[in-house]
Amino acid sequence: MLWLLGMCSNDDGARDLAELGGARIWRAHENERDSVPYRSMFAVASDEIERVRAVADVGLYVVFGRVIKAAPEAQDPGAPRVIASFPMVRHPERTHAESDAHWRDIHGPLALRCHLAMCDYEQLSVTATLHGPELDGVAMCAFPDRQTLSEKFFNDDEAKAAIIADVASFADTRASWPRVVLTERV
């Protein structure tokens, strides 16, 4: 399914989109640093593009969501999770399609092996930028809580080195935005 993915400088507007139905809304974690490129994010399937654009003051994108690892069925669907969101710009020597294919086919399986504490993982592949800085995707790496994210993001140093090297092969690590830690509004 295609979604409108919006990034906002505050939490107010995204909260108002909940009435559109089916909207997923995330806000910066309470312990997140102040200097992040966005404070909230939302994904919604809607044809009210101008209403959505008015809220997405940082950027608005059309994305295709790929679930790489689904949350376990035993997990309480109402329990707030902590998500490390990683906005990604493709490597300058790759096309969007090449970068996206590597992200999906190579990096996705590698991430599952190197982030064992991750409870679910979704890739939001950007198919169009409606406004804002160009992005090629946003990785959504979910963990049960902030402590697990902080202490067990990588399995070990070998896993960390493998992920860093692989990301550098398909993403422009200098042009990509810094990680923003979010919590999902339920």
Domain ranges in the chain are 2-185
Radius of gyration of the chain (CA): 16
Yes or no: say if 171 and 92 are a contact pair by the CB < 8 Å rule. Answer: no
d(CA 99, CA 103): 6
- When pLDDT is cut at 50, 70 and 90, the band that residue 12 belongs to is confident
- When pLDDT is cut at 50, 70 and 90, the band that residue 22 belongs to is confident
According to CATH, what is the number of the domain 2-185? 3.30.70.100
| DSSP assignments along 128-173, one per residue | EEEESS--SEEEEEEESSHHHHHHHSSSSHHHHHHHHHHHHHHB-T
| Best CA proximity match to 88, nearest among 46, 133, 48, 130 | 133
Q: What is the pTM of this model?
A: 0.93
